Copies of this chain bind each other. A is one copy, B any other.
Amino acid sequence: MEPVEIRWVRDGPPAAEILVEGLPGIGHVGKLAAEHLIEELRAVKIAELTSIHLPPQVIIEPSGVARLARNEVFLHEGEKRIAFLVGDYQSVSPEGHYHLAEAYLDIAERLGVRCIYTLGGYGVGHLVSEPRVLSAVNREELRAGLEAAGALFNPDEPPGGIIGASGLVLALALRRGIDAACIMGETSGYLVDPRAASGVLAVLSTLIGIGVDMSRLETRATEMEQVIAKLAENETAEDDEALRYIG
């Protein structure tokens, strides 16, 4: 097995103007957002990537069939041609992150992509009632467009920069002459966060100029908030009980 293997599963040379990356990460924000778009736009799978840099693990499909941990590329051919990069995992090693980021850019170049959006979460360590959407770009000229679409740029946010695929793809795209922006949804970082994903998608759909039905993502966000509310309630109840016991 080669260190990184890309298999194209569709005949003919597919093409896309835009690549949206949403691999697993903080709050699974990027993954939730990208997978929601793939479903709503009914994008079709065109490639998959396996690698020794992904965990040495297989996923069992509902059919009982096991397959390697992988990343996948989907294509939506509407008014705009948009490719999506999603997957089970990111690299398990620091060096592997660089190798996979280059492989993602090989895919982008082969598709003729002119612009990449990497989606992710920005973990702040506490629950956020109205999550902001932050951004970073690989050329300063791209900043105004992101701001117009509702993304913020704030010095020192995220304080440590961006770790993993969303960051490396952003920076390495410049070397290949591809514009790229990272769109990050503010999130606690403790829970899968559909609300943050929804914020990221609002910015992204404005940028790309597509309408996306957000209702399913909104439903998931509301459900998640009810779960959190119930957890908080239980904690208070326990506190009450504790008080009664003491009293």
A residues touching B (Cβ–Cβ < 8 Å)? Answer: 1, 52-53, 55-60, 62-69, 91-99, 101-102, 135-140, 143, 153, 155, 157-158, 160-164, 167-168, 170-172, 182
Contacts and interface: CB of A to CB of B under 8 A. Distances in A.
A95 B100 CA distance: 14
B172 A56 contact: no
21 contacts: A1-B99, A1-B172, A52-B99, A55-B94, A56-B98, A56-B101, A56-B163, A56-B167, A57-B163, A57-B164, A57-B168, A58-B167, A58-B171, A60-B162, A63-B140, A64-B136, A64-B137, A64-B140, A65-B136, A65-B139, A66-B136
**For the complex of A and B, 4 pairs with smallest distance between CB atoms:** A56-B97, A58-B167, A64-B153, A52-B98
A167 B56 CA distance: 8
Given A56-B98, A162-B57, A162-B60, A167 B1 contact: no
Copy tally for this chain in the complex stands at 4
Given A62-B155, A66-B182, 16 more contacts: A1-B99, A53-B95, A55-B163, A56-B94, A56-B97, A56-B101, A56-B168, A57-B168, A58-B168, A60-B158, A64-B136, A64-B153, A65-B140, A66-B137, A68-B172, A93-B95
Given A52-B98, A94-B55, A95-B52, A68 B163 contact: no
